[in-house]
Structure 1
Amino acid sequence: MTITITTFERSPDGGKGLARDMRVRWALEEVGQPYGIRLVSFSAMKEPAHLGFHPFGQIPTYEEGDLALFETGAIILHIGERHAGLLPKDAKSRARAITWMFAAVNTVEPPILELVTAKILEADKPWSKERLPLVQDRIRNRLDQLSARLGNADWLDGPFSAGDLMMVHVLLRLRPSGILGEFPNLSAYVARGEARPAYKRAFAAQLAINDPSHDVGG
């Protein structure tokens, strides 16, 4: 059965790899599974046809036969459980990799998303200037902890896993802020993720959709 994922018709970041379909693309590339895409506009995401796949009107979704999934963590866990390459065979190592997947989206990502909100959606609020340093400090606190745990290792727990895939993509959102650059070992960790051939293929595929020469109606 063909796998189909939904992605932005035009990504807000212009195809720089920050949209969440990038995580699913990368995971599928890592396990060598082909997939198709269905482009969705911002207005179409809120219409009944898409809400049937994603009740919160977001992307990506994952469709395979009569199976429809949403939430990148759930999608990547499903991919990792069905195909070799993202989750270790050893039960304890596998459990730890899944733990890191949850840590990426539940512990590290929330303050990073808060920074995006503070800089873009709340920039015109009278209290914005006072709040921004507090948000940045919360991020630095999380990165201090993550940096200490990673140390000089290449990956979070032995070989590369779905936990690293999720964490690298979460950290990528910080690069424009300059905060990631304050942590050399985390910057190098992200660079190792970006250097993986599967990441490069996924990035190129997402970028191609956002190329001005790409005809979204074709």
Structure 2
Amino acid sequence: MNLMICARCGAYTDTPVVEPDGPVLRCTECGHRQPFRRLPLFSVTGPSGTGKSTVGRLLTEWLSDRYVVVEQDVLWVGGLRDHSPDHRLFRSTWLRMAAMIHQSGRPVVLCGTVVPPEFEPLPERALFSEIRYLSLMCDPQVLAERLRARPAWRCWDEPRIAEMLEYAEWIRQNAATMSPPVELLDTTHASVAQTARAVCAWITGQPFPGG
């Protein structure tokens, strides 16, 4: 179900109009009102090397009956690698994809690096009841070691590692003042399973068995 296309007249829009009652999408061309599911989006984010993809594998296994867990980088392809500072085309595509998945009735857990200023101003943000952000973090020295240990094809040279460490520190300093705030979870000394249980508890609002 493409929420950007009117079910009655077929008009396309890049700026969906959402009425709060229902909620309902309203076509600005013909006035058609289409009820839709407006669910929360859970963004498991953080600097590269903090464990998002690894944890995502367990989240997929443990939450598959209630949530759809997806890896953001799967769409980091040539056609979506725009040069805007906020990668708007890439971000908009993911929000549209997540909103369509939501129409099946299960919220999306999106694992990938993003911060509120890259999602919240987009027109597609109206398709979600809220977006919650949890950033995985770790000690700078540990993060650098993890990135150096990655396969050569991932191209983590020292300048790029230094850039990621700066980004990690920026998140740490600004997480609480972003809108909405970004919650932080330190993965420095936690096992993958421990981190995944903590993320599950954050998503579901309930302690995860074995955590």
Q: Which has the higher contact order (CA 8 A, sep 6+)?
A: 1
TM-score normalised by the chain length of structure 1: 0.27
Q: Which structure: greater helix fraction? A: 1
Q: Which structure: greater strand fraction? A: 2
